[in-house]
Amino acid sequence: MFRIPEFFETEMNFKDAAKVMESRGRGDLLAGMESMDQVWTDYCASDDQDDDQFFTDWGYECSAYNVVFENMSKLFK
């Protein structure tokens, strides 16, 4: 899960969040989630890190990721 500053969080339901992640994965929810993991990995590896800019650019997708992650994790408890 992403630790998103409250200012950048977007409230959404699971259906909308899943659509966002599926869109990133070209119709594949898991691929969309992995794509966001890669965006974060690339950001952390860069020399030019600015959390505010990252969440300005990716806050909506990070929020969607968190909603999907939270809802799907219930299947594995």
Tokens 């990716």 sit on residue: 58
DSSP code for 57: H
CA angle, 53 as apex, 48 and 55 as ends, to 5°?
120
* pLDDT tens string 17-48: 999 999 999 999 999 999 999 999 999 999 98
* pLDDT tens string 44-68: 999 988 999 999 999 999 999 999 9
Strand blocks (E) in 1-77: none
CA 5/CA 74 separation, integer angstroms: 24
